[in-house]
Amino acid sequence: MTTPNTNPQTQQWQAMSRDHHLAPFSDYQQLSDTGPRIITNADGVYLWDSEGNKILDGMAGLWCVAIGYGRDELADAASKQMKQLPFYNTFFMTAHPPVLELAKTLAEITPAGMNHVFFTGSGSEGNDTMLRMVRHYWALKGQPNKQVIISRLNGYHGSTFAGSSLGGMQGMHDQGGVVPGIVHIPQPYWFGEGGDMSPEQFGIWAAEQLEKKILEVGEANVAAFIAEPIQGAGGVIIPPDSYWPKIREILAKYDILFVADEVICGFGRTGEWFGSDYYGNKPDLMTIAKGLTSGYIPMGGLIVSDKIVAVLKTGGDFNHGFTYSGHPVAAAVALENIRILRDEKILEQVREQTAPYLQKRLRELADHPLVGEVRGLGMLGAIELVKNKSTRARYTDKGAGMICRGHCFNNGLIMRAVGDTMIIAPPLVISKTEIDELVTKARLCLDLTLQDLQA
Ligand code: PXG
């Protein structure tokens, strides 16, 4: 699938990869044989590789570069902070101005009643923190049996042991096992799993699986339910409209905590600050990362509601923390990123202008013979590749998604393949002209993929 290299430096870098680098979620033999594509620079919504190819980044890096590449303000904020105080920890009764200013700023944009944040270095660490905090919370409340977390199959909550156990990715569970006390329910993925039910019926059915699981485990043993408002890595799975209202109804009946994993949906991806705002959900905790710094520097966190903080205050030390919790440089970058999102009214622009346009243009691809469904919301989109539009049957064993991903790479567009679902999550600042380019390239790549599948 990859085109031959012409820049001799590309081969040198690929040799370094082969000889020394173990990349995430990669087949090491394949990576060694083929060599990675080397990305050398970026600006706006575009990337350039070492061969000089310009590529429209339809995935915002990895769902994170909200404000686009090349914003000097973030580099300047990092540089200034590095010169003033490059590191100090937030353990042992110390803090520094950037971490405090960021905590206050987050309280301004998070839902009402969520006024505290525990900082981490990543989304996975945020979910790890959540697991310990939630179990500790119930123990402090005199209910130490409330330990079990209910999560969803095909959800993604990170790659630490807690993160991958909370997630519902079998391939991860198979390598090294899982943390005990985490159980999974089906996902609200109508296109893939809805069968003969209507989307609305299926949404109710999928939500009812939560109640079924609470009753099976016993309310007295359940600590929390965790879910992404929209599953990202699972394939941009937008629940049927009936799903979240039914989940809210179930959560109101039982004394369990609700955790929204906002790592992808947070910071404007749906046109609201958080996916929970979009759906009107009321979480007790929210995991954040990615869009918090637009990916310019690693940072994550766990937003904690006042109700939980009040209980934590009764418990002495919370025995948890990372060297880089609240790192001053990351905090300074996050503050500048949020300032840009606010001052440039990027959420308003997404909500009122570019997301409606992206969704309209994307849906034009539904007429393509290879496309079984186009769905999307805000700056998220998914295109289902099928052999038969009416039965939703796939091209089994052909790897349609990977073929399409290869064509995209070679034609200047990054789209991710999750099985045979092509997904996009472009930078929030993508313009209408750039959206036109994205859709034109996507159609071309669908044509090329169909040719290959029929050959
Ligand atoms: N929760 C969600 C919802 C995520 O999408 C994490 C937690 C973990 O965050 P960190 O910062 O620890 O990676 C994520 C991360 C993909 C892909 O292939 C998605 C993620 C990470 C890597 C690959 O779509 N999401």
Least confident of 1-15, 104-118, 343-357, 421-435: 1-15
Please give the distance, rounded to the nearest whole angstrom, from the Cα atom of residue 194 to the centre of ligand 1: 25
What span, in angstroms and rounded, lies between the C-alpha atoms of 87 and 72? 21
For ligand 1, is residue 278 a contact (CB within 6 Å)? no
Share of the chain above pLDDT 90, in %: 97
pLDDT bin (cut points 50, 70, 90) of residue 3 is low
Ligand 1 atom nearest to 289, measured from its CA: 11
To test the pocket of ligand 1, the residue of 57, 62, 236 to mutate (highest count of ligand atoms within 8 Å of its CB) is 62
For ligand 1, is residue 62 a contact (CB within 6 Å)? yes
What span, in angstroms and rounded, lies between the C-alpha atoms of 180 and 27? 28
Q: What is the mean pLDDT of residues 201-206?
A: 98
pTM given for the model: 0.98
Q: What is the mean pLDDT of residues 316-342?
A: 98
What is the 8-class DSSP label of residue 52? -
pLDDT bin (cut points 50, 70, 90) of residue 446 is very high
Torsions phi, psi for 417 (to 5 deg): -110, 125
Q: Which residue has the higher pLDDT, 1 or 117?
A: 117
pLDDT bin (cut points 50, 70, 90) of residue 1 is very low
Ligand 1 atom nearest to 158, measured from its CA: 8
Please give the distance, rounded to the nearest whole angstrom, from the Cα atom of residue 123 to the centre of ligand 1: 7
For ligand 1, is residue 234 a contact (CB within 6 Å)? no
To test the pocket of ligand 1, the residue of 63, 161, 293, 297 to mutate (highest count of ligand atoms within 8 Å of its CB) is 63
For ligand 1, is residue 157 a contact (CB within 6 Å)? yes
For residues 81-116, b (16+ Cβ closer than 10 Å) or e, as one string?
beeeeeeebbeeeeebebbeebbebbeebbbeebbb
Q: DSSP H helical segments within 294-399, as ranges?
A: 306-312, 328-343, 346-349, 355-363
Please give the distance, rounded to the nearest whole angstrom, from the Cα atom of residue 198 to the centre of ligand 1: 30
Ligand 1 atom nearest to 298, measured from its CA: 11
**Beta-sheet pairing, 39-43 with 148-152:** unpaired
Ligand 1 atom nearest to 265, measured from its CA: 3
Q: What is the pLDDT of residue 4?
A: 67
Q: Ligand 1: which residue has its CA nearest to atom 8? A: 158
pLDDT at 2 over 70: no
Q: What is the pLDDT of residue 5?
A: 79
CATH no. of 37-67+345-454: 3.90.1150.10
Please give the distance, rounded to the nearest whole angstrom, from the Cα atom of residue 159 to the centre of ligand 1: 8
Q: What is the pLDDT of residue 398?
A: 86
Q: What is the mean pLDDT of residues 357-380?
A: 98
Instruction: Give residue limits of the domains in the chain.
Output: 37-67+345-454, 72-343
The class level of CATH for 72-343 reads: alpha beta
To test the pocket of ligand 1, the residue of 290, 293, 324, 405 to mutate (highest count of ligand atoms within 8 Å of its CB) is 290
Q: Ligand 1: which residue has its CA nearest to atom 9? A: 123
Task: With H, G, I as helix, E, B as strand and everything else as coil, classify residue 344.
Answer: coil
Q: Ligand 1: which residue has its CA nearest to atom 17? A: 233
Q: Ligand 1: which residue has its CA nearest to atom 18? A: 233
pLDDT at 333 over 90: yes
The four Cα atoms 346, 68, 59, 227 give a dihedral, to 10 degrees, of: -50
Within a 10 A sphere around the Cβ of 349, how many other Cβ atoms? 16
What span, in angstroms and rounded, lies between the C-alpha atoms of 203 and 201? 5
pLDDT at 167 over 60: yes
Residue given tokens 């004394």 in the structure block: 255
pLDDT digits (tens, 9 = 90+) for 204-231: 999 999 999 999 999 999 999 999 999 9
Please give the distance, rounded to the nearest whole angstrom, from the Cα atom of residue 63 to the centre of ligand 1: 8
